């Protein structure tokens, strides 16, 4: 009898745990029990993908420091492998009402998650953030950029000097410099790349394929404007001109003998050991290059010159990166907002921003650029900053229907028999159909 | 009813009910939900979706990139299919009295137990155009003319990836065949030898018919594996260049997560299930009905 009773209890516990696992976890034990004194309490989850941030959080006891100010709020940091995996996880969790309390976004994911993010307009952190307002969706600040992201072309000054090449300031100069470098070093080293670009991974062409349409005429809203026309890939448009430039550069042989066979890690290592003369990456790339290089005294940077002539404006992309936001699924929204405020306060942010190579996004905590990155500013005093927008709802909807994948398109340019004009024509046709199907005007 | 038989009955009921509940909860219900989703335009994160009838199915059939991905799957299928007789031969060889058979068995099975992503990474460096080991081997053998863009030439990339797949999975098939071969009672073979059967006769009339169930399983596993191949092309080429080395599963995942079209991706998942069953039935009919002529005795 006793045994049967124990068996029944065990079976009951198992069934309950099974059902609890399947159910919609509404009782997560982290309810925000606001105390009579008005103090905040509860547990908040903070989901990240950035290895540098994770390392810094662990080394500097972020939770301990936060709890000095908010002793009753516990923070659970959830590290997800990389950003691709992060978006996959967040999409699934959004549909299951299981988003973390605090999450990050990129410019191109803000509009996707807009219904799940709380307006942070009223926070002090938003007021001090230089970029947040520029990325507001329908007037709501849904995320606070943790860093300002700039894109650079890293190059070896000694290699340029030996080959007699000057830092280019226009697109044609870039093409000429790349050809000259390829001819000069390529004759002795068949593996040499004037411009390193690991197209096996596809995404490393983003400085060209993602940003160049916006740089072409300095329109950071380029993707959103594309959603308003039926034939955005037609001759004469920004994207048409930009992709023709990229196509000409990529197919001129300056990416080396087999760029489609190499990934970004491989080409970054090759560049770090001077097997390549240039590589276009964000500010985050500096740490990777430094890790692979023995000596960086000859490492320099300049901004990707996409303009046709020196009389045109020298457009340079700037974008907010890692937008920290509070989700509507949070049971402890006040605690989560308090965490965001704390994160961007004197207690945490200045140390963090000095740890990473990226620029500060906070006006109250300016940061001097790394000397290597600052060289690009010195070389380009007349630059015009273009605030990049990753594309809103309409663009995303059309992109999904047409399966327009600009990063893949860039890699396809290197394949045999690829016809850019035919590809753009096909995109125009599917774009028109998609707009009609989706009823986008 | 005695106490023991009552307990036995209880045990049987519990043993059946729990797996059935798990099967219903984790296979049947999600499977039915997958079919339901295949008729919607759910984007993967919105709270609602619309029923759109067969539009996803029509879109799927009109998608040329998906068809190309399916053709790539066919390469894995055919290459693995041709390897099955070889795997069987290896299994027979290793089951026999071969010197250091245990060592060979371990070596053959080893690739299967290594993490697939690690294998794919290792081979992407092996076939790398810069400092790649394979090109170095060819150069060492003075076969520089044979060097190709192994991972970026659309004409050969799928064969390179299929080779990696063979390297990884052949050992698994060999071990399965060996397990089946070892289950054949030794006295049957001895009796056949007394009757004058040679090794070929033993193989053809005793070993192969005795392990037909396992052959069926390996053939089914080949179809399932070839149509669901993911990790090797994902890590080694990301399905590129373009969609030259994409596979059905890779394209399905891209549709779901890159293009936020879970409805269409669900349609593709339903299609792949149907495809696996259909190809298996055709293959079964061909092998048993035509090649082995089982029904015409």
Q: What's the ipTM?
A: 0.77
Instruction: Give me the helix-helix angle, A62-69 and A333-343, nearest 10°.
Output: 110
Given a contact cutoff of 8 angstroms between Cβ atoms, the answer to whether A384 and A217 are in contact is no
Contacts of residue A210, defined as CB under 8 A and 6 or more positions apart, other chains included, come to: A406, A407
DSSP state letters, A316-366: EEEEEEEEEEEBTT-S-HHHHHHHHHHHTSTTTHHHHHHHSSSEE-BTTS-
User: Alpha-carbon distance B72 to B165, whole Å?
Assistant: 13
At which residue do the structure tokens 């001129």 appear?
A: A252
Cα dist from A68 to A62, A123, A270, A346, whole Å: 10, 21, 45, 14
Work out the mean pLDDT of chain A and round it to a whole number.
87
Spell out the residues 6+ positions from residue A234 whose beta carbon is closer than 8 angstroms to its own.
A240, A424, A428
Question: Contact A361/A320 with Cβ under 8 angstroms?
Answer: yes
Nearest to A257 by CA among B151, B242, B164: B151
Closest CA to A240 of A216, A204, A224, A221: A216
The CA distance from A256 to the nearest CA of chain B, in Å, is: 10
- Centre a 10 Å sphere on the Cβ of residue B169 and count the other Cβ atoms it contains: 23
pLDDT digits (tens, 9 = 90+) for A146-189: 998 899 999 999 999 999 999 999 999 999 999 999 999 999 99
Give the pLDDT confidence score for residue B291 in this predicted structure. 65
B154/A200 Cβ within 8 A:
no
pLDDT band at A29 (very low <50, low <70, confident <90, very high): very low
Contacts of B260 in chain A (CB under 8 A): 91, 112, 396, 400
Residue A5 has pLDDT above 70, yes or no: no
Prior bond to B241 cis, omega within 30?
yes
Angle between helices B64-95 and B101-113 (to 10 degrees): 160
- CA within 13 Å, CB half, A195: 26
Beta A193-196 vs A102-105: how paired, if at all?
A: unpaired
Q: What are phi and psi of A47, to 5 degrees?
A: -95, 130
pLDDT of residue B292: 65
pLDDT tens for residues A387-420? 888 888 889 889 988 989 999 999 999 998 899 9
**Confidence at residue A312, expressed as pLDDT on a 0 to 100 scale:** 94
Q: Contact at 8 Å (CB) between A73 and A338?
A: yes
Q: What is the pLDDT of residue A38?
A: 45
Kindly give, in sequence order, each residue whose CB lies less than 8 Å from that of residue B4, ignoring residues fewer than 6 positions away: none
Pick from B21, B46, B129: CB nearest A261: B129
> Measured between CB atoms, which of B44, B130, B242 is closest to A408?
B242
Which of A90, A258, A327, A399 to mutate to test binding with chain B, by most B CBs within 10 Å of its CB? A258
Residues of chain B with pLDDT under 50: 297
> Which tokens go with A69?
């100010």
Contacts of A266 in chain B (CB under 8 A): 125, 128, 130
Torsion sign, CA atoms A111, A115, A116, A121 = positive
Locus of tokens 């290459």: B79
Confidence of residue A256 (pLDDT cuts 50, 70, 90): very high
- Non-local CB neighbours of B282 within 8 Å, separated by 6+ positions: none
pLDDT at A19: 37
Q: Rounded distance, CA A396 to CA A336, Å? A: 28
Structure tokens, B73? 């799957």
Q: Kindly report, residue by residue over B160-213, the tens digit of the pLDDT.
A: 999 999 999 999 999 999 989 988 888 888 898 898 888 888 888 888 888 888
Tell me the nearest-neighbour CA distance from A167 into chain B, angstroms.
Answer: 27
Q: Assess whether pLDDT exceeds 50 at residue A34.
A: no
Contact yes or no for A246/A209 (Cβ under 8 A): yes
Positive/negative CA dihedral, A380, A384, A390, A394: negative
Closest CA to A221 of A127, A304, A317: A317
Q: Is A44 in a helix, a strand, or coil?
A: strand
Question: Residue A124 half-sphere exposure, CB side, CA atoms within 13 Å?
Answer: 9
Closest in B44, B65, B128 to A261, CB measured: B128
**Angle at B62 (CA atoms; ends B56, B64), nearest 5 degrees:** 125
Helix%, strand%, coil% for chain A, nearest 5 = 45, 15, 40
Query: Cβ(B262)–Cβ(B44) under 8 Å?
Result: yes
Q: How many CA atoms lie within 13 A of A256 on its CB side?
A: 27
Question: Any CB–CB contact under 8 A between A396 and chain B?
Answer: yes
Chain A (197-256) residues lying within 8 Å, Cβ to Cβ, of chain B: 199-202, 256
Q: pLDDT grade, residue A324 (50/70/90)?
A: very high
Q: Does the pLDDT value for residue A140 go beyond 70? A: yes
CB contacts of A270 in chain B (<8 Å) are 130
A71 burial class (0-12, 13-18, 19+ CB within 10 angstroms)? Answer: exposed
Closest-CA distance of chain A to residue B237, Å: 6
Alpha carbons within 13 angstroms on the beta-carbon side of residue A50 total 19
Residues 6+ apart with CB under 8 A from B289: B295
Task: Calculate mean pLDDT across residues A329-337.
Answer: 93
Yes or no: say if B78 and B138 are a contact pair by the CB < 8 Å rule: no
Rounded to an integer, what distance in angstroms lies between the CA atom of residue B268 and that of residue B38?
A: 8
Task: Find tokens 């010159």 and name the residue.
Answer: A305
Rg value, chain A, Cα: 25
Nearest to B75 by CA among B213, B232, B290: B232
* CA A424 to each of CA A95, A203, A406, A439: distance values in angstroms, whole numbers, following the listed order: 34, 19, 11, 22
Cβ contacts of A400 on chain B, cutoff 8 Å: 43, 259-261
| DSSP 3-state of B255 | helix
DSSP A259-286: GGG--HHHHHHHHHTTSEEEEEEETTHH
Per-residue pLDDT at A12 exceeds 50 = no
Q: How many contacts, defined by CB atoms under 8 Å, are there between A and B?
A: 94
In the predicted structure, residue A17 carries a pLDDT above the cut 80: no
What is the reported pLDDT for A88? 81
CA angle A267, A108, A264 (to 5 degrees): 5
Choose the closest CB to B241 out of A18, A256, A414.
Answer: A414
């Amino acid at each position: 009898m006793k045994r049967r009773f124990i068996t029944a209890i065990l079976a009951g516990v198992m069934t309950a745990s099974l059902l609890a696992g399947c159910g919609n976890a509404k009782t997560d034990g982290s309810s925000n029990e606001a105390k009579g004194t008005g103090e905040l309490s509860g547990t908040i989850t903070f989901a990240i993908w950035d290895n540098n941030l994770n390392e810094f959080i662990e080394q500097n006891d972020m939770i301990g420091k936060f709890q000095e100010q908010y002793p009753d709020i516990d923070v659970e940091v959830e590290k997800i492998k990389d950003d691709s995996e992060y978006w996959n996880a967040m999409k699934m969790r959004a549909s299951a009402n299981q988003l973390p309390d605090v999450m990050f976004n990129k410019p191109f994911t803000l509009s996707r998650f807009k219904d799940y993010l709380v307006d942070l307009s009223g926070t002090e952190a938003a007021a001090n953030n230089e970029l947040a307002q520029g990325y507001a969706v329908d007037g709501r600040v849904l995320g606070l950029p943790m860093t300002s992201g700039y894109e650079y072309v890293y190059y070896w000054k000694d290699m340029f000097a030996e080959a007699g090449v000057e830092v280019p300031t226009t697109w044609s100069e870039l093409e000429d410099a790349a050809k000259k470098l390829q001819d000069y070093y390529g004759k002795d080293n068949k593996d040499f790349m004037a411009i390193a670009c690991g197209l096996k991974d596809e995404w490393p062409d983003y400085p060209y394929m993602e940003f160049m349409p916006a740089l072409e005429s300095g329109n950071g809203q380029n993707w959103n404007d594309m959603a308003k026309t039926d034939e955005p890939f037609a001759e004469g448009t920004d994207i048409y001109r930009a992709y023709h430039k990229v196509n000409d550069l990529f197919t001129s042989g300056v990416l080396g003998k087999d760029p489609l066979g190499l990934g970004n890690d491989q080409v970054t290592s090759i560049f770090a050991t001077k097997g390549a003369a240039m590589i276009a990456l964000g500010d985050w790339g500096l740490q990777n290059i430094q890790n692979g290089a023995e000596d960086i005294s000859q490492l320099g940077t300049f901004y990707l010159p996409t303009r046709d002539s020196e009389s045109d404006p020298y457009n340079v992309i700037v974008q907010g990166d890692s937008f920290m936001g509070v989700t509507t699924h949070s049971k402890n929204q006040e605690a989560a907002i308090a965490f965001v405020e704390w994160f961007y306060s004197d207690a945490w942010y200045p140390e963090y921003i000095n740890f990473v190579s990226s620029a500060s996004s906070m006006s109250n905590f300016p940061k001097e650029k790394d000397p290597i990155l600052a060289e690009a500013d010195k070389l380009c005093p007349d630059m015009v900053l273009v605030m990049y927008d990753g594309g809103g709802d309409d663009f995303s909807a059309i992109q999904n229907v047409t399966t327009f994948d600009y990063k893949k398109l860039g890699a396809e340019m290197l394949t045999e028999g690829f016809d850019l004009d035919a590809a753009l024509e096909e995109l125009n046709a599917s774009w028109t159909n998609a707009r009609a199907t989706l009823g986008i005007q | 009813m005695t106490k023991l038989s009552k307990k036995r009955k209880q045990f049987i009921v519990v043993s059946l009910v729990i797996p059935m509940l798990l099967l219903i909860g984790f296979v049947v219900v999600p499977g039915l939900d997958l079919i339901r989703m295949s008729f919607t335009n759910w984007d993967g994160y919105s709270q609602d979706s619309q029923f759109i009838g067969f539009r996803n199915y029509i879109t799927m059939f009109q998608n040329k990139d998906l068809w190309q991905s399916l053709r790539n799957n066919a390469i894995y299928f055919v290459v693995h299919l041709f390897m099955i007789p070889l795997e069987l031969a290896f299994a027979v060889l290793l089951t026999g009295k071969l010197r250091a058979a245990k060592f060979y068995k371990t070596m053959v099975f080893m690739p299967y137990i290594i993490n697939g992503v690690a294998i794919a990474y290792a081979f992407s460096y092996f076939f790398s155009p810069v400092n790649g080991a394979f090109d170095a081997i060819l150069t060492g053998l003075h076969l520089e003319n044979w060097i190709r863009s192994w991972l970026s030439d659309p004409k050969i990339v799928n064969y390179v990836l299929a080779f990696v797949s063979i390297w990884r999975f052949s050992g698994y098939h060999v071990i399965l065949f060996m397990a089946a071969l070892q289950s054949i009672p030794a006295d049957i073979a001895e009796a056949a030898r007394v009757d004058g059967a040679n090794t070929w006769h033993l193989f053809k009339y005793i070993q192969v018919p005795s392990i037909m169930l396992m052959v069926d399983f390996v053939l089914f596993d080949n179809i399932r594996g070839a149509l669901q191949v993911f990790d090797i092309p994902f890590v080694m080429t990301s399905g590129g260049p373009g969609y030259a080395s994409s596979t059905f599963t890779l394209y399905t995942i891209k549709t779901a997560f890159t293009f936020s079209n879970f409805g269409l991706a669900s349609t593709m998942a339903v299609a792949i299930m149907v495809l696996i069953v259909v190809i298996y039935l055709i293959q079964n009919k061909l092998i048993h009905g035509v090649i082995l002529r089982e029904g015409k005795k």
